[in-house]
Amino acid sequence: MTHLFFEGSEKKLELSLVPGSPSLRSLGYEFWSQAVHIAKAEILSQISNEHCDAYLLSESSLFVWDQRCLMLTCGNTTLVDAAIWLAQQLGSENIAFLSYQRKNEYQLQLQPSCPKTDLSRLREAMPMKAYQLGYLDSHHHFVCHLDKAFTPPPRDITCELLMYHVQGPNADYLRSEGQSIEQVRQLLKLDLLFPGFTIDDYLFEPYGYSMNALRGEHYATIHVTPEQHSSYVSLETNLNLGSTHAYIVKQLLSILQPSSWDTLGFNCQPFSPLGAEQIEVSKGNVDLSCGYQVDFRHYQHLQRRVQPVIQL
């Protein structure tokens, strides 16, 4: 039996401009469409509010603020190309902060580059520092950033929840035929998790789901890759999942029943609940010279542990 495969794990680019720089939003749709195209993705739709333009992509998401942008791409995208292009277009002297993040993939051999190659190319363009969080033979993340002093704005936090091998009836529905976008929203309880947010979402064929959400200065994005043997669901947000919005993590873990999951917090305390059937397998914490404290943790559910089976 042939199994569908799609690499859901995202590569992530974030950059901030020095104070007084022209607005990134003023660069317009065509500029950002070109940046996305260079990463080998396309813009599907857009929502905006007074703070941010949020673009839903064929492979994940792009958020653009006046002085900052965030791009996530999955599949076989070439986000490093977009990172270098943006640095050239904006001018390195105008970039106050830049980070590039990549998680180990299920099938690295299918990727157009490896993390080491990406880092080498970034270092040719600008001075970078790099770290690996997590064990090399398990889930781990590569984080590199511009080697330049930077002070993040107050309350600048990012929380990432990355879930693997989702199970149960909700996961079965997400990889079934005949889904509707309304049912997926209800299944994920988006009205409960993100009240008052404007939501832009897309249901892929034969399955797969992406969502961007905006409310004032807050954003959230969810991406669902439900393939049976390589399922992956990610949430990223600047809501504080370690305190006032901890219920979001609890709800998603209950809904999707992953066998394991990662959390990454930038200037945010650990935010995954621990119970009798959940264990913390590994963790790492590093204070970056660019002003962020990064906390990484990998968890497993004792009753749901599975080994990935990938057809080669």
Three-state SS for 80?
A: helix
Query: Is the predicted pLDDT of residue 307 greater than 70, yes or no?
Result: no
Task: Tell me the pLDDT band of 108, cut-offs 50, 70 and 90.
Answer: low
Domain assignments of the chain as residue spans, ordered by start: 11-301
Which residues does 307 contact at the CB level (< 8 Å), separation at least 6? none
Helix boundaries (H) for the chain: 28-38, 79-90, 115-125, 168-174, 181-188, 190-193, 246-256
* Model pLDDT, residue 75: 84
pLDDT, tens digit, 9 for 90 and up, residues 83-107: 999 999 999 999 999 999 998 766 6
CA angle (167 as vertex; 159, 238 as ends), nearest 5: 10
pLDDT in tens, 124-149: 999 999 999 887 777 888 999 999 99
Specify the pTM.
0.94
Quote the CA–CA distance of 134 and 140 in Å, as a whole number. Answer: 4
C-alpha 163/C-alpha 158 separation (Å) is: 17
Quick: pLDDT tens for 70-84: 999 988 899 999 999
CA 239 to chain centre: 14
Please answer whether residues 64 and 16 qualify as being in contact, where contact means their C-beta atoms are separated by less than 8 angstroms.
Answer: no
- 11-301 folds as S-adenosylmethionine decarboxylase (3.60.90)
Q: Any idea of the CA torsion for 135, 296, 246, 155, to the nearest 10 degrees?
A: -170
pLDDT, tens digit, 9 for 90 and up, residues 271-296: 888 776 888 999 989 999 999 999 99
Strands (E), the chain: 11-17, 43-48, 53-57, 60-64, 68-73, 95-103, 128-133, 141-146, 158-164, 198-203, 209-215, 218-225, 232-237, 260-266, 278-287, 293-301
Cα(124)–Cα(149) distance, integer angstroms: 19
How confident is the model at residue 69, as a pLDDT?
98
Q: Is the pLDDT of residue 264 over 50?
A: yes
Q: Is the peptide bond before 206 cis (omega within 30 degrees of 0)?
A: yes
Task: Kindly report which listed range (4-8, 62-66, 115-119, 131-135) carries the lowest average pLDDT score.
Answer: 4-8
Give yes or no for a contact between 222 and 154, defined as CB atoms under 8 angstroms apart: no
What gap in Å lies between CA 121 and CA 127, rounded to an integer? 11
pLDDT in tens, 14-36: 999 999 999 999 999 999 999 99
Task: Pick from 115-119, 141-145, 210-214, 268-272 the range whose average pLDDT is largest.
Answer: 210-214
